[in-house]
Amino acid sequence: MSIFDFLSGQFIDVIHWTDDTRDTMVWRFERHGHEIKYGAKLTVREGQTAVFIHEGQLADVFTPGLYMLETNNMPIMTTLQHWSHGFQSPFKSEIYFVSTNRFTDLKWGTKNPIMLRDADFGPTRIRAYGTYTVKVNDAGKFMTEIVGTDGEFTTDEVTSQIRNIIVQEFSRVIGSSGIPVLDMAGNTGDLGRIMAEAISGTIAQYGLELPELYIENISLPPAVEEALDKRTSMGVIGDLNKYTQFQTAEALQAAATSPGSGASEGMGLGMGMAMATQMANAMNQGGQQQQAPAQGGGAAVPPPPPVEHVWHLAENGQTTGPFSKADLGRMASAGQLKRETYVWTAGQDGWKKAEDVAELAQLFTVMPPPPPPGV
């Protein structure tokens, strides 16, 4: 065995990458002089892809597995070096490991408000933010288009570009969707899917894909939100007049519980005057048709009319009525009501003869009494 064969067997390279970070997308395997020995072992784990760059050109791409770096395992490299009969000497290449896992919980948001025309609010501005997931689906294209010779490429170096693309597509999708702002919260899922599909075509040119995109919030300017909150509060309150009366009563009660406070006394006095004014207005509106204009000083209100009694009659074990006093006067004239007829009205203590009731006795004064017997 020659000394060269002995050294070749003793210094076999083991090329692999283990990553404990959550944001490294590309890592370059460092070797002094970039010399890789013939027959080296290359380990590509799940969620990784190994890319060989030889003299600035993309040479080979290795998917997950264990490889012996020999002629039959590197057809492109063999073609580039014209190694038709194999090789034994070290070769100079750069090996980049590309993570093909999903990078989740990446943030996006609108730096400036987006102008749109809304059916409810008219021309308005909105802001939005959310999260997305990105993944490398073409390691070779990602290396040539984005990474270049960067020895350690993280998500921070590409997310800003992706955010710009997301915001651009969000503005376009929202502007053309025609969905009212108040209904956007119920359509964030559909909007996210539409945006992801629109963005995928653009970032596919970089060897990337966007498996997920979420819209967490769509908000209006603070002034519009404040006005909307007031409108919602009015809808919850309902009858504004009743609510004002309730608030007045609450304020009066609060003032009464702290009589020593000058502020509470002033507030209670003001609320009391307001409540008195409301009550006076209500009384004026309700009784303005009953009041007569004053003749020389004040308004005269007539007293209520007297209550007219009605009467019931009892004859031969039966009751009839009720009859008014005018009815009884006519009955007395016709002889249907006699002095000894029993009568009753509300508030009277039992049945009494008509002649014994002062109010009815006068009905018989215009009539002569019955003749004495034997005349």
SS3 call for 153: strand
What residues contact residue 288 under an 8 Å CB cut-off, 6+ apart? none
Chain segment 99-138, per-residue pLDDT in tens: 999 999 999 999 888 888 888 888 888 999 999 999 999 9
Residues recorded for the chain: 375
Helical segments of 28-92, H only: 75-81
State the pLDDT at residue 4: 40
State the pLDDT at residue 280: 58
**Mean pLDDT, residues 307-313 taken together:** 79
Rounded CA separation 31/29 (Å): 7
CA of residue 345 relative to chain centroid, distance: 69
Phi, psi dihedral angles at 49 (to 5 degrees):
-140, 135
Strands (E) in the chain, as ranges, are 14-15, 24-29, 35-36, 41-44, 48-54, 57-62, 65-68, 91-92, 94-99, 103-109, 114-118, 122-136, 152-154, 208-219, 311-315, 318-323, 342-344, 352-353
Q: Could you tell me the pLDDT band of residue 65, with boundaries at 50, 70 and 90?
A: very high
Q: Which carries the bigger pLDDT value, residue 330 or residue 291?
A: 330
Indicate left, alpha or beta for 296 from its phi (over 0: left) and psi (-120 to 50: alpha). Answer: left
Chain segment 314-324, per-residue pLDDT in tens: 888 888 888 88
**Could you tell me the pTM of the whole model?**
0.54
Q: Tokens at residue 115, please? A: 């102008």
pLDDT, the chain, mean: 77
